[in-house]
Chains A and B, each alone.
Chain A
Amino acid sequence: MKNILIKNARVIDPKNNRDEVTNVYINKQRIAAIGTAPEEFNADNTIDAQGLWLIPGLVDMSARLREPGLEQKANIETEARAAASAGITTLCTPPDTDPVIDEPAVVELIHHKAKQAKQSHVVALGALTAGLKGEHLSEMATLKDAGCVGVSNCKNAINNTLVLRRAFEYASTHNITVFIEAHEPDLSANGCAHEGPIASRLGLTPIPYAAETAPIAQILELIRDTDIRVHFGRLSCARSIELIKEAKDNGLKVTADVAAHQLHLTEMDISSFNSQCHVLPPLRTQRDMEALRLGLEHGVINSICSDHQPHELDAKQAPFPATEAGISGVETLLPLTLKLVENKQLSMNKAIASITCNPASILGLDIGHLSEGAPANICLIDPDKEWTFSTDEMLSHGKNTPFSGWNFKGKVVTTLLQGKVIFNE
């Protein structure tokens, strides 16, 4: 299909400050024009989008696809297909695969598998240190050449602060963004619940706020007076937002994201030992949840991600502390984000930006917007469709979600990647 015309959609494009009902013209995988047809444009295919919303294809900052190494949980093909059905056109996978993404061959393998799947695009973060062991620097420049959009040590500790400082300096030398999942393993001590009344009552090993805030404060001090770009992912504490805000006010190039589930669940949700709510960082208090929402509205937090972690059934079928942490989240990223808009907890513009242009910009990708000439990555949504999310209908290989049975308003109808339909309901 060469030329596509999408007619009469409500086009919401936060990056270009656009929110109007109009036509979108696609030519050769790219957006040719919005509003008036380009000269000599003959549509090979016309989509009548009357009553639908048209937004840029979603960009998910953090989705574990489990390949290579953990294929019993999921693989790139299944997860990219699930993502496409949920309007996501670009997934970013962290480097804690097996083998770790610390050499070009692994990056190539992931790119190859994603290409074969012909679903959502997949980009990768490389390891910050070799094997994520926190001892030696990874070959960051080589990883960047191989296509990595940044580097991260995931939740693995770097015990030697000098190694951490040098890792930042080296990444900065090569203009590479460092992605941090702030998590101090000594402080969290294999815990599984927020340190507070619920964990104390249930006798679950607690994870204090400081397990997240202490490393953030330390890193912000280490990167003072540098021009390095650091992204803090999966924040859970109100105090973290204060720290990030102060750093931003001081001109540091820091950005932040939050997992969608952290905006809807709190520590109360584990009070019946519901292992589907076992996540890391843990679900915290109502106050923290409100602070995270406000952080988004005020722009301190830039992005919402799925923090997708699909698991096999057995991983969640055990006593709470023995279960694996994480939620299979790609299919609830958009519904949970739209729910915030519906509940008037987040403006439409901020909500859409936080799952499209903002994460794209943090990953250094020129996508997530509908400018002329941009790749035609598009998500069409029926905003009035009321539906019930159910594990039975999930496409992800991982059915681990606490949101089964939740009612949502607004559902993806069609997803286009570079002008090609990769999902159509």
Chain B
Amino acid sequence: MVNKATRPTDNLLGQDLWNIQLDENGQLKHFLTIEGLGSNILTQILDTAESFAGVNESIKKVPLLRGKTIVNLFFEASTRTRTTFELAAKRLSADVLNMNISVSATSKGETLLDTLRNLEAMQADMFVVRHADSGTAHFIANHVAPHVRVLNAGDGRHAHPTQAMLDMFTIRRNKGADFGKLRVAIVGDILHSRVARSQIHALNTLNTGEVRVVGPKTLIPKDIEAMGVNVFHNMQDGIKDADVVIMLRLQKERMQGALLPSEQEYFELYGLTEQRLKAAKPGAIVMHPGPINRGVEIESSVADGPQSVILDQVTYGIAVRMAVMSMTLGGNRAKSNQEEAS
């Protein structure tokens, strides 16, 4: 083990994963991963999101982040996710700059750090980052100026914490705040899924009764049990008596890597059909981070059926992202306002 006490003193290297997200008062500073955040922070995010959910329906805009500049820094194309972050920022009255940077451009000489320095010079207050490499959000958080906040919008296979929190929001709205009595099954390509990893951390932090992952051995990462899940390779057993069934998207390229033989066989074994859903508890909800591959991981009649909350997830995504943005970026200002008042 590298001894903490003898780590390099410059903050370029070796910062701890857990602490970097919180400021000296234990408040959320960056939002990089669910791991290391307590249930108090997660509940605060959900409660704040609840207060913004009303804003979305009626008022549309609040002035919390007026004058702040938020940069959407997307190294991986994703119109959907970027749009929800953009909308969340605009509803908080922030200025938004969208940067779509193809990886090929950065490989042509300009390093990630060069890109960051350039954007910092434009007075950015927050980076919303998506990148194909695990650990990118941490790397950026370790290198930005002290006042800049970083929000992870997905890094490699590592984490996608806002997605996980909007999923928790969806579960709480549908199943109530007591996660202890819930059984949640996450089905599909766990190996490549940053969503699944963040969901597992969030569910366990919120004290969920049982978290299961379901899939063939080729799509379940080694020693995943250490994250606090039970592993099932049989779909029927895996979703039996579940309160929540979360289906993951299956990327087409998984056939090339010899991870699966065909989409047909995958659907046969792990696809969520009406028939199969009967194994779950009556009233179980079906979730999916999108976009859906109909007929590959989920049957259309289930995706559009009465137990599906997939469209709710999309709606709640904006409120949850508003919550995280206001907590990380508006927190200090709100606090200093309070101090002035008192």
A41, CB-defined interface residue at 8 Å: no
- Judge whether B194 is part of the interface by a CB distance below 8 angstroms: yes
In angstroms, how far is the closest chain B Cβ from the Cβ of A193? Answer: 9
A317 to B117, CA, bound (A): 13
Bound CA span A328–B30, Å: 32
A265: chain B residues within 8 A (beta carbon)? 1-2
Expressed in whole angstroms, the minimum distance between the Cβ of A93 and any Cβ of chain B is 27
Contact status of A203 and B2, CB under 8 A, knowing A271-B17, A314-B111, A319-B155: no
**A-chain residues with CB within 8 Å of residue B135 when the two chains form the complex:** 202, 204, 273, 319-321
A205–B192 Cα gap in the complex (Å)?
9
A391 close to chain B: CB less than 8 A: yes
B14 touches A274 (CB 8 A): yes
In the complex, which of the residues B9, B111, B131 contacts A317, with contact meaning CB atoms closer than 8 Å? Answer: B111
Known contacts A266-B1, A319-B155, A402-B2: A274-B13 contact under CB 8 Å: yes
Interface size range on A against B: 35 or more
Q: Is the CB of A203 within 8 A of B224?
A: no
A196-B2 contact in complex given A203-B157, A318-B139, A405-B9, C-beta closer than 8 Å: no
Nearest chain B CB to A401 CB, angstrom units: 9
CB distance from B257 to the nearest CB of A (A): 8
Docked complex Cα distance between A288 and B275 (Å): 47
- The yes or no answer to A268 lying at the interface (CB within 8 A) is yes
Assess whether A125 is interfacial by the CB under 8 Å rule: no
Contact of A202 among B2, B15, B16, B158 (CB under 8 A): B158
* Contact yes or no, B226 A200, CB < 8 A: yes
User: Please, what's the 1-or-0 string for A395-415, where 1 marks a CB less than 8 Å from any CB in chain B?
Assistant: 000000010111100000000
Is residue B6 within 8 Å, beta carbon to beta carbon, of the partner chain?
yes
A158 and B197 alpha carbons, distance in the complex (Å): 36
Given A273-B138, A274-B2, answer yes or no on A196-B223 (Cβ-Cβ < 8 Å): yes
Is B67 interfacial (CB-CB < 8 Å)?
A: no
Contact indicator per residue, chain B 8-32, by CB within 8 Å of chain A (1) or not (0): 1100111111000000000000000
Min CB–CB distance A218 → chain B (angstroms): 20
Is A200 within 8 A of B224, CB to CB?
Answer: yes
**Chain A residues whose CB sits within 8 angstroms of the CB of B17 once the complex forms:** 271-273
Mostly, the B contact residues are loop
The reply on A344 being an interface residue by CB < 8 A is no
Chain A residues, Cβ within 8 Å of B133: 318-322
Please name the residue on chain A nearest to B136 by beta carbon: A319
Chain A residues closer than 8 Å to B2, beta-carbon distance: 265, 269, 274, 277, 402
Tell me, yes or no, whether B222 is within 8 Å of chain A by CB: yes
Report how far A204 CA is from B157 CA in the complex, Å. 7
- Given A201-B35, A277-B2, residue A405 in contact with residue B13 (CB < 8 A): no
What residues of chain A lie closer than 8 Å to B8, measured between beta carbons? 391, 404-405
- B99 close to chain A: CB less than 8 A: no
Query: A residues within 8 A CB of B155?
Result: 203, 319
Residue A275 lies at the interface, judged by CB distance under 8 Å to chain B: yes
B7 at the interface (CB under 8 A from A): yes
Interface 1/0 per residue, B151-162 and A, CB below 8 Å: 000011111000
Interface residues of A (CB under 8 A from B): 195-197, 199-206, 208, 265-266, 268-269, 271-277, 314, 317-322, 388, 391, 402, 404-407
Shortest 4 CB-CB distances between A and B: which pairs? A203-B157, A203-B158, A200-B221, A319-B133
Task: Identify the B interface with A (CB < 8 A).
Answer: 1-3, 6-9, 12-17, 35, 111-113, 131, 133-136, 138-139, 155-159, 194, 197, 221-224, 226-227
Told that A197-B226, A266-B1, A317-B112 touch, could you supply 5 new A-B pairs with CB distance under 8 A? Answer: A269-B2, A275-B13, A318-B111, A318-B112, A320-B135
14 pairs from A and B in contact (CB 8 Å cutoff): A200-B221, A202-B134, A203-B134, A203-B159, A206-B222, A265-B2, A272-B16, A314-B111, A318-B111, A318-B133, A320-B133, A402-B2, A402-B14, A407-B6
